[in-house]
Amino acid sequence: MVNENDSEGLVKELIHQVSGIPIDQIGLEDRLIVTLGLDSVEIIDLLIRLEAVGVTIPSAQISAA
């Protein structure tokens, strides 16, 4: 079973892979577009990578990224 810290690390790693932002600069409260500055292509890439590891995000939350 994946614990919360492992999940957080995985998501941060995926955001880093997509955006190049250093992992230590990605926080739990950061917003993908507003805070981290991801563009639409990076968001789609991130969603695909998250889905590949079994993480799904409700569409209502995606528009609020």
How many CA atoms, within 13 angstroms, populate the side-chain half-sphere of residue 57?
17
pLDDT at 65 over 60: no
pLDDT at 63: 66
pLDDT at 4: 61
How far apart (Å, rounded) are the C-alpha atoms in residues 32 and 26?
10
**Between 65 and 30, whose confidence is greater?**
30
pTM of the model as a whole: 0.81
Q: What is the pLDDT of residues 9-34, one digit of tens each?
A: 999 999 999 999 999 999 989 999 99
Task: Name 45's Cβ contacts closer than 8 Å, sequence gap at least 6.
Answer: 18
pLDDT at 64 over 70: no
